[in-house]
């Protein structure tokens, strides 16, 4: 029977550490600040943004939520970002995605100063991840690495398989596992023999967006299975990409949905904001 990795508990531990860091920074006169911009009324985005604001408050990070109407023109959004880029009291800037269709997401991400890009979505930060010289890591894959580390799961020399190749999860996840000395395979919708490849994995990370897709027979006995998927079922319940009941009989470790990777994503955003504030202080002291 798999050991269930409690993402809520690990997340709470890390948030306590972050709160301590923030307290220390405040004593030195620095208050880490995060600005979150939301354009439009998408209900899921509204909830995410509210949760981010609340999480900041809990650890002592100053947060500002900037709500712009659906019909905001791109130039106005870019000006707003330029203003935040110039502010010394804002260390992290996050634009909640998706944006309304008339706005070019790439141009908006590119407008955020790489030093304040706490989602690590910009080309500069993505490039840094590739090279291994990074300050921020994208929140979800970074959260997965923390779950592995804090559960005592070794990555060095292990076979890791990542299912999914999106820019926000699959690709950076594979890169982080590679930096942690795993031997990594990336699978996607055109992969042949997916089940066979998955069965080779000591660490299997799944981020595809298909409820209960990974079954017990696709998992190597004793493997660590990390389920990034979040799928809303017709009855309103949340399901992961992994068939939890079946896979828990075979895997060595397994993350639940909800309560696995999910809570880690915001936690890593808080961590990135603190890192950005530290870096801004160091930069000021050098100049």
Write out the catalytic residue numbers. Answer: 52, 96, 119
Q: Which is nearer to ligand NDP, 34 or 261 (CB)?
A: 261
Considering only 11, 155, 265, 273, the residue that binds ligand NDP (CB under 6 A) is 265
Q: Which of residues 205-264 bind ligand NDP (CB under 6 A)?
A: 207-210, 228-231, 261-262
Query: How many chain residues bind ligand NDP (CB under 6 A)?
Result: 25
Task: Name the residue number minimizing CB distance to ligand NDP.
Answer: 166
Q: Which is nearer to ligand NDP, 16 or 189 (CB)?
A: 189
120 interacts with ligand NDP by CB under 6 A: no
Site track 140-179 with ligand NDP (rule: CB under 6 A), x = hit: x----------------------xxxx-xxx---------
SS3 146: helix
Q: Which helix (H) or strand (E) holds 238?
A: strand 238-239
Picking from 102, 101, 95, the residue whose alpha carbon sits closest to that of residue 118 is: 95
Q: Which two tokens stand for residue 269?
A: 């955003």
Q: Where are the alpha helices (DSSP H) in 28-92?
A: 43-59, 74-86
Considering only 9, 23, 26, 188, the residue that binds ligand NDP (CB under 6 A) is 188
Asked if 7 and 263 touch (Cβ cutoff 8 Å), the reply is yes
Number of alpha carbons in the 13 Å side-chain half-sphere of residue 285: 8
Asked if 8 and 255 touch (Cβ cutoff 8 Å), the reply is no
Considering only 190, 236, 245, 285, the residue that binds ligand NDP (CB under 6 A) is 190
Q: Which is nearer to ligand NDP, 18 or 230 (CB)?
A: 230
CA distance 104 to 163: 28
Q: b or e along 207-229 (b: 16 or more beta carbons within 10 Å of the residue's beta carbon)?
A: bbeebbbbeeebbbeebbbbbbb
49 interacts with ligand NDP by CB under 6 A: no
Selected range binding ligand NDP among 62-70, 79-87, 174-182, 202-210, rule: CB under 6 A: 202-210
Q: How far is the CB of 218 from ligand NDP (least distance, A)?
A: 11
Asked if 129 and 70 touch (Cβ cutoff 8 Å), the reply is no
Asked if 198 and 247 touch (Cβ cutoff 8 Å), the reply is no
Q: How far is the CB of 67 from ligand NDP (least distance, A)?
A: 22
**Residues found near ligand NDP in the complex (CB under 6 A):** 140, 163-166, 168-170, 187-191, 194, 207-210, 228-231, 261-262, 265
């Amino acid at each position: 029977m798999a050991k269930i990795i409690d993402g809520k508990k690990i997340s709470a531990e890390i948030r306590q550490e972050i709160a301590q860091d923030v307290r220390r920074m405040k004593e030195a006169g620095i208050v880490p600040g995060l600005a979150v911009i939301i354009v439009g009324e998408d209900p899921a985005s509204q909830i995410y943004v509210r949760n981010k604001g609340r999480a900041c408050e809990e650890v002592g990070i100053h947060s500002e939520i900037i709500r712009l109407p659906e019909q905001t023109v791109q130039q106005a959004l870019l000006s707003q970002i330029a203003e935040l880029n110039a502010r010394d009291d804002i260390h992290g800037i996050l634009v909640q995605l998706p944006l309304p269709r008339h706005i070019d997401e790439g141009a908006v991400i590119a407008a955020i100063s790489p030093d304040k890009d706490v989602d690590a979505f910009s080309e500069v930060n993505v490039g840094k991840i590739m090279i291994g010289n990074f300050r921020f890591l994208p929140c979800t894959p970074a959260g997965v690495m923390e779950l592995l580390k804090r559960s005592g799961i070794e990555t060095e020399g292990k076979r890791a398989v990542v299912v999914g190749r999106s820019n926000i999860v699959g690709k950076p996840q594979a890169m982080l596992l590679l930096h942690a000395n795993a031997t990594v395979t990336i699978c996607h919708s055109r992969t042949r023999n997916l089940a066979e490849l998955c069965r080779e994995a000591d660490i299997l990370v799944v981020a595809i967006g298909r409820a209960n897709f990974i079954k017990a027979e696709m998992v190597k006995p004793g493997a660590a299975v990390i389920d990034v998927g979040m799928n809303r079922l017709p009855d309103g319940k949340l399901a992961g990409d992994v068939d939890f009941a079946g896979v828990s009989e075979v895997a060595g470790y397994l993350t639940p949905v909800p309560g696995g990777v999910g809570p880690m994503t915001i936690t890593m955003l808080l961590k990135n904001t603190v890192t950005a504030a530290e870096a801004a202080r160091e930069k000021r002291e050098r100049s």
